[in-house]
A = this chain, B = another copy of it.
Amino acid sequence: MAHPTVEERRLTARGHERRRQLMDFATLRFAERGYHPTSVAEIVQGIGVGKGVFYWYFSSKEELFLEILREAQQALRRAQRQEIGDEPDPLRRIELGIRSSMAWLDEHRHVFNLFQFAATEERFAPALRRGGEVAAADAVRHVKEGIVEGRIRDGDPEVLTNAVLGVTNQLARVFIHERGERGADVADAAVAFCLEGLLAPPSAPPQPAGTSPRAPAG
């Protein structure tokens, strides 16, 4: 056989570098312009190489996208694990999960669109879901523990977990991705909402309309 399969090709250091270069550039383009509108020709032109280079490192455009997806999910998950460490408190683990996700999405803003797009196309949705479910399973465990300990109110752990994920995603998308705010600040808000919800604490009885709406004592 003339050539080995792309998958079983042994790359030199220079080869790995090119591969990285292709993946990074493609990620940017996919995120900015979308997967389909970004052609292979555009990608190779962007880093100034011939088309053959692309197909030396990836067997298809689709495979490249799946690879990018896989790597991003892995990295996000790794960031979470590292931040959570061996924290024993389940509530605190959830908080750390939110904060690390926000931080990671803050640096890597561009991958947001990729996740979002992947969910909308038959070919990519399964891969995205597989990764997402694995990550969600971790969080569900923390929630379950929290319920058992009586720290988290009773309810379906999967529902609660997804609610937390929803808050995190939406706040990240709107305030980090669209408005460019700092991840740490957004994380504070997300944590507060997830823990306390909307309601004002019952210790402060409902005030008659017209009183100062802000914190009373500065």
Contacts and interface: CB of A to CB of B under 8 A. Distances in A.
A189 B129 CA distance: 22
A80 interface: no
Interface string A145-189: 011111111111001101111111111001100100000001001
A112 to B, nearest CB: 9
A166 B170 contact: yes
A190 interface: yes
A151 B200 contact: yes
Q: Please tell me the size bucket of the interface on A.
A: 35 or more
A200 B147 CA distance: 8
A123 to B, nearest CB: 8
A111 to B, nearest CB: 11
Interface in A22-76: 32-37
A150 B193 contact: no
A98 B182 CA distance: 28
B160 A193 contact: yes
A13 interface: no
Interface string A187-218: 00110111111111100101101010111000
Contacts of A170: 162-163, 165-167, 169-170
Contacts of A37: 121-122
Contact of A195 (B190, B197, B213): B197
A94 B209 CA distance: 19
A5 interface: no
